[in-house]
Amino acid sequence: MPLTELAADDVARSASLASRRLATLSNDARNEALTALHHALDVNRKAILAANAKDLELANQAAASGTLSHSVLKRLDLSRPGKYDDMLDGILSVRDLDDPIGKVTLRTLLDEDLTLERVSCPIGVLLIIFEARPEVIANIAALAIKSGNAAILKGGKESLESFAAIADVVSCAIKDSQVPVESVQLVKTRDAVSSLLAQDSWIDLVIPRGSNELVRFVKDNTKIPVLGHADGICSAYIHADANTETAVKVIVDSKTDYPAACNSLECLLVHEDILETVFPEVATALLDKNVRLRCDDASKKALTKIFSAEKSSQLQTATESDYKTEFLDLVLAVKTIPATNPPSQPWKLLLLISTSILLSTRI
């Protein structure tokens, strides 16, 4: 049934009223709701995974016909080893955070007995629109409850069955807590987005999580403030003095642990002095993991000199667009950095920090 403007108004209005109640609850009350949410999702694991299997069956058919990317398919799969448990652990991690509400972050004495304070408070009502990844429902529900914000969630069509199953569990879990049920509302109709984007009187912030096309659509079709994201290609740089063992571990993990994640490594920059020393070790480890390397002329020439004809056949010649592409797959663009023009030290440090984050975080 379509979500009409009137129905969207009711959803947004009830969320706004719930957000005021939620903002006054104690940290303990909000934490109790998160504990209940964690327990409910754990108890209903089989039912949720069964629903997810239905989504995966349709998604596999779509991927086979070329109408759905394999990266979206991988993000959709809740049965991936550890993924469901990570979702549950995330709820408890959020629960155990310090209370973010009411923190004084700035205090200034303006005059005698007149002090100006900046105090953290909830935003109000959040509209979160996301694609494919069903665990986002639990992630956002937990963050919204902890921070005292009401949330209206709209998932992608690829995760319809998973979305419905998790939605029912979330609603039942918070119904028995002090958190108002309307604090987390899960909209299932496909045409809901346009109607909800018109509710600028009740919704305080829109957060689109998905493709750049989705973010642009949201920004172009609402008066509500939008917290969007920009393009970003995760890169790593192997410097001339890099340790071979460390480089292999970092690069292989960053690319292959979860290629469909939006923080997976997509571009490898290699100092020309190690093209025939450290780089072949890294390249061999990547090829062994079935990563397809798209190399510039210098890096490809260096590898073909060392590799057998069979391994050399696995290398591809990079195009300029490859260095601007988020592959979300076992594909990695490689570019050589001349010794006379290495990255500046701050950039080098930033890349090393980014790679360290890749080792511990998957999105």
Residue 8 identity:
A
At residue 130, the pLDDT reads 83
Confidence of residue 7 (pLDDT cuts 50, 70, 90): confident
Q: What is the pLDDT of residues 335-356, one digit of tens each?
A: 999 987 655 544 444 444 344 3
Q: Which residues of 322-360 are buried (b: 16+ CB within 10 A; e: fewer)?
A: bbeebbbbbbbbbbbbeeeebbeeeeeeebeebbeebee
Confidence of residue 3 (pLDDT cuts 50, 70, 90): low
Its pTM surpasses 0.85: no
Distances (CA, A) of 140 to 9, 74, 254, 317: 22, 20, 25, 41
Q: What is the mean pLDDT of residues 225-248?
A: 87
Report the 10 Å Cβ neighbour count for 2. Answer: 10
Q: What is the pLDDT of residues 167-202, one digit of tens each?
A: 899 999 999 899 999 999 988 776 788 899 999 999
The span from the CA of 224 to the CA of 203, in Å, is 7
> Domains (ranges, CATH) in the chain?
5-104+115-220 (3.40.605.10), 235-360 (3.40.309.10)
At residue 4, the pLDDT reads 53
Longest dimension (CA), the chain: 81
The pLDDT of residue 98 is above 60: yes
Report the 10 Å Cβ neighbour count for 186. Answer: 18
Q: What is the mean pLDDT of residues 235-239?
A: 93
User: Quick one: residue 46, left, alpha or beta (phi over 0 = left, psi -120 to 50 = alpha)?
Assistant: alpha
* Among candidate residues 335, 327, 333, 295, the one with its CA nearest the CA of residue 311: 295
For the chain, what percent of residues have pLDDT higher than 70? 91
At residue 190, the pLDDT reads 65
